[in-house]
Amino acid sequence: MSMSEVQYPVVLFDGVCNLCNGSVEFIINRDRMGEFRFASLQSDTAKHLISELDIPNDTMDSIILVENNKQYFKSSAVLRICKKLGGLWSLLYMFILVPVSIRDYFYDIVARNRYRWFGKRENCMVPSKELESRFLN
């Protein structure tokens, strides 16, 4: 899959992180239009997109949103996702006004401790049959 084939926002996430998997479930449950697609960072699809987009290796501990041929990392990705979820979640987008260095400082604290605080899986999550079409292999 190449970027020119991506017609929807794609969320790249750590497939063995419990917090990250919980975040994906959170997005799915609130994405009424079924707009988002997902790929774990461990998948071939994510590796291909990362290579094609020349995403730096130091962002691999981050959620990554690929949308309209642009990439968003860490807190910027989270806020853009919230905005697209609509409703009250979109109000969180106002935190985009906070300087990225401050937002990402707090994001990085959680990212560094995510396995210790939330646990880690042995394998990436396997989506149900109903959700399979939303996950890119």
In the chain, where the domains are located:
3-123
pTM above 0.75, yes or no: yes
Give the β-pairing of 37-40 and 10-13: parallel
Please report which residue ranges of 1-137 form alpha helices under DSSP H.
18-30, 44-53, 74-85, 100-118
At residue 124, the pLDDT reads 63
User: pLDDT 10s digit of each residue in the chain, 137 long?
Assistant: 555 456 789 999 988 888 888 899 999 999 988 999 999 888 888 888 888 888 876 666 789 999 988 999 999 999 999 999 989 999 999 999 999 999 999 999 999 898 889 888 776 666 666 777 788 87
- Is CATH 3.10.450 what the domain over 3-123 is classified as, yes or no? no
Rounded to whole angstroms, the Cα distance separating 129 from 6 reads: 22
